[in-house]
Amino acid sequence: MFLDSVGVFPSTKNPRILWVGLKDNDETITRLQTATEKALESVGFPMDPRPFSPHLTLARMKSPKGKKKLKDELDAVNQEGIGPHQFNVGAIHLYESQLTPKGSIYTVLANFKLNP
């Protein structure tokens, strides 16, 4: 797994989530996502029609203040590249997030250790 690029959801005009993309050369995380989605579909959860985009959420933004500077910084980082930072994932933690006016509340629902 490699860090790939940095961006925002849904767009630089309305940034709400800051993320770093993951490059999944051996498709490990893609296979895990597919298996998870199929298992959830079998118990009644609909499949997400959007294409899977492996990423790590770095921050949630409450206000678009500073979005021009953020866009410029993202452009610079992605132009230069964030480097070949490879890492291994040893566990996955399933979180529930509750968005409140005072900020997000995150609760760990389950932990899953992965084989090395």
pLDDT surpasses 80 at 116: no
Q: Which residues 6+ apart lie within 8 Å of 47 measured at CB?
A: 37, 41
Q: pLDDT per residue over 68-95, tens digit each?
A: 899 898 988 888 877 767 778 888 899 9
Q: pLDDT per residue over 12-45, tens digit each?
A: 888 989 999 888 888 888 998 999 999 999 999 9
pLDDT value, residue 115? 76
CATH node for 2-88: 3.90.1140.10
Q: Which H helix or E strand runs over 100?
A: strand 91-100
Kindly list the domain boundaries of the chain, sorted by start residue: 2-88
Q: Two tokens at 91? A: 């566990």
Q: Is 59 in a helix, a strand, or coil?
A: strand
